[in-house]
Structure 1
């Protein structure tokens, strides 16, 4: 198994771990002459222990540890593909620490070769395994690092050394980062480490926009990709997931001279059904998936019908429309408490307000004012624009029920929309209904304390053009609902 070459990456997946069959295993890599010469070489410096060495070892653990990697009383040797050195060991010590070694040495012990070939482990990992079996339980001295942990974990799994497994898994849990979460997720699934896999998925949830841009994502297997797509708590726009899945499939097909849409669909397999196309805007779907050739005509028609028919009246769409949500929500109100007046009227125009903030975050929706005297259900169309490009990042046409009070009422996008630090955006809302409350004496700059998530500063400004009269000082769209 190749070693990892970066402190932020982990070695590739091992094959499934069978019970080692070392019974009378022939040594194929070395000739008998080479083995004879090796056995006649001078022993290593620690091959023998001084007379009465036991006197300086005050515990059984100390005495057993002194025998580790030592030729003294060794009755079995191991050879590995990446080294010419034969590693000495003691059958009794290995047997009391591993049921696999115990079964190996008790099965036709007389016919078992005294030199056992281990073809699927590297020397450093096998030495760490032996040091643990001889009583060394210290992570640094076992050399468990970012580069070595997966190889050592493989050895611990292979020889059923549960204590060493726990050390490796605990090390991984403490060192999960967004840079290694994807490859660790693949490894955790391979090794059936459910808790480690769950922690990796949580990291990916919270950093999905970054994770989907890392090259490691292209190397994961289909089952791992599907495990990510199944998440209800994945904090990323669905169109980004679509683009990532297509890139992943093309990477898997990179050995082909030409790649067709049918090949991409076949490579994606069950992952395609996990993409929530109804969460995209109609524009995103029309410009991307609908023209890709990957979806069938029936699937495309069903999604367009979903977009255009009244809410909940069309049930033939095969794709999930449950919004994904992950981050903790916060609300910033650009008006002080009690700064509310009434009789804001509507004439088929958008109320708009321009804003920017000092952190990258997600916009989940807006809080809007409702009817003055009695309950009323408003039809509302909300949008979020990027000011410089004019691009619509997201929109939603829905309803909300006002109760006649001056409270605000939530209207959400289909999924949170990402905005960047320091760039201006325009929040828009077009209401159909009677006059409503509106805010007065608005604030231009608000710093919102988000507790453990830190602080976010919003700057509000006038949005030129159609705005139905809303501006920084007064108007609609009192609240921005955002996620960190």
Structure 2
């Protein structure tokens, strides 16, 4: 395992932001104070610690007294490297009772016989924090030492101290340190902390990506984040952040910061950028001019934005809906028939819901003539205000079956309870299947959650024949 760094990862007014040297000094001062012995007559200086046991009322006090103390010590550790190395006395019995690794080191089949053991990959302050915990159950960690202490607790299999470190990090997790802590959580295999970091990044994506620690993450952490559907950031800003990361990575690898090298270091992360979610203006102003995409990719993406049928592109158009929980859907028809034609008029139906939801897309019927592509504009309009609250000009492919095909909004659409909205879909393509025996009320219910009731109403005016009873827009896809 790589050595954990000793730089500060947290800065919080509620925490003492000590350097490792200062922390070590404090530990030594506290130890000296706890080890103070009664003043003895001059003629007993040859045995200044005689009867120290009588001053300690409990086993914990006696073991605490022995912490970092030469008294009865039978092993020494040389901890750290070069000038920072520190010699720390210890007691095999105490260490073996607190750590299976130390037990194997001193008592196993290949036990060491050395009385001095070098630990160049461990920080002195972290090792002292580990020993203090083993001798006294006391936890002494801070912003400067928490990562190195976590590394040391992992190395010597002391899960209780690991838990204290993770708890400390969890309490001080913020947007500006979320990426740095995520990298460490992945390095130390702490899935609970990693999950909390990702949650923080989801909720505060812009702040997290603008923080200094973002450009320091490794490629695998970058990919883990770019894969998420729940980031709350526009795709053009995410692309800009990925380019910033690539520039920093070029410098880490001592490569010239050129377009070619930025493409190289981004590698498997680049296909995770969802270019189709950008507007054509955002794409033209940023990625199209960056040089990071090939000429063919730029042309295909411009065609994807502007023509139908759309050419294949190697980038997903699945929205980052910034939502948590399970995706849900309701279907308002009980039967499927054919044929339904299109002449440029929108299929529309009104609806209300009983509780706040967030709509991410519609399900639409496809062709009765076999596999084909449709061009489609989908909208949600607040009925009373006649205001568009969500839309996407896109397309979808169907396979000729009576299945329902997903068409998603670029951004999620908040739907308020008891407010009337109009769902609209304007399709260009061949005749399709359509739904019949429509329901005026559809109830969606998940275990341990409240019911969500949808109420459907026909839309006045020309709606290409779609109504509550028949037509298109069979499905609404949403989160509660």
TM-score, normalization by structure 1: 0.61
Does residue 227 (structure 1) correspond to residue 221 (structure 2)? The answer is yes
- C-alpha distance in 2 between matches for 1:418 and 1:43: 61
- C-alpha distance in 1 between matches for 2:16 and 2:115: 36
| Post-superposition CA distance 1:374-404 (Å, at most 9, x none) | x75565334333543576345223224235x
Does residue 438 (structure 1) correspond to residue 444 (structure 2)? The answer is no
> Aligned-pair distance for 1:142?
1.9
| 2:191 alignment partner in structure 1 | 196
- 1:447 and 1:458 in contact (8 A); partners too: yes
> What secondary structure is seen at the aligned counterpart in 1 of 2:290?
coil
- 1:182 and 1:200 in contact (8 A); partners too: no
Trace 1:66-465 onto structure 2 (pairs within 5 A): 67-68=66-67, 89-90=89-90, 92=92, 96=96, 106=114, 127-134=128-135, 136=137, 141-142=138-139, 149-156=146-153, 160=156, 162-163=158-159, 166-168=162-164, 171=167, 182-189=179-186, 192-194=187-189, 196=191, 200=194, 204=198, 209-215=202-208, 218=211, 219-221=213-215, 223-224=217-218, 227-229=221-223, 234-236=228-230, 240-247=234-241, 249-250=243-244, 269-270=265-266, 273-277=270-274, 279-280=276-277, 283=280, 286-295=283-292, 296-304=294-302, 308=307, 319-321=314-316, 328-335=326-333, 337=334, 344-354=340-350, 358-359=355-356, 361=358, 363-368=360-365, 379-385=373-379, 387=381, 388=387, 392-393=391-392, 395-403=394-402, 409-413=403-407, 417-422=411-416, 426-430=423-427, 432-434=429-431, 436-439=433-436, 442-443=439-440, 447-452=443-448, 455-456=451-452, 458=454
How many residues align structurally?
Answer: 417
- C-alpha distance in 2 between matches for 1:284 and 1:461: 37
- C-alpha distance in 1 between matches for 2:450 and 2:135: 48
TM-score, normalization by structure 2: 0.61
Structure 2: give runs of 5+ residues left out of the alignment.
1-6, 38-48, 81-85, 249-256, 382-386
Change (3 A) 1:282 1:240: closer
| 2:43 alignment partner in structure 1 | none
- C-alpha distance in 2 between matches for 1:330 and 1:453: 12
Change (3 A) 1:425 1:309: closer
Does residue 4 (structure 1) correspond to residue 10 (structure 2)? The answer is yes
> Aligned-pair distance for 1:477?
0.9
- 1:366 and 1:480 in contact (8 A); partners too: yes
Change (3 A) 1:419 1:151: farther
> What secondary structure is seen at the aligned counterpart in 2 of 1:451?
coil
| Post-superposition CA distance 1:269-309 (Å, at most 9, x none) | 41662344464367366455455434454431243356658
| Post-superposition CA distance 1:417-471 (Å, at most 9, x none) | 422353957441526444744345653x655223356554556566677631334
Change (3 A) 1:390 1:131: closer
Say which structure is richer in helix. 2
| Post-superposition CA distance 1:300-321 (Å, at most 9, x none) | 124335665857x76xx6x444
> What secondary structure is seen at the aligned counterpart in 2 of 1:381?
strand
| Post-superposition CA distance 1:229-280 (Å, at most 9, x none) | 35785215898344223146458979xxxxxxx8688557416623444643
- C-alpha distance in 2 between matches for 1:217 and 1:101: 45
| Post-superposition CA distance 1:322-355 (Å, at most 9, x none) | 85899643221345x46x8876543343313355
Structure 1: give runs of 5+ residues left out of the alignment.
15-26, 28-33, 81-85, 255-261, 404-408
Instruction: Please provide the CA RMSD for this pair.
Output: 5.8
- 2:206 and 2:233 in contact (8 A); partners too: no
- 2:366 and 2:398 in contact (8 A); partners too: no
| Post-superposition CA distance 1:44-103 (Å, at most 9, x none) | 254348655499657xx88535533668657979999xxxxx998535468755769989
Change (3 A) 1:263 1:165: farther
- 2:329 and 2:476 in contact (8 A); partners too: yes
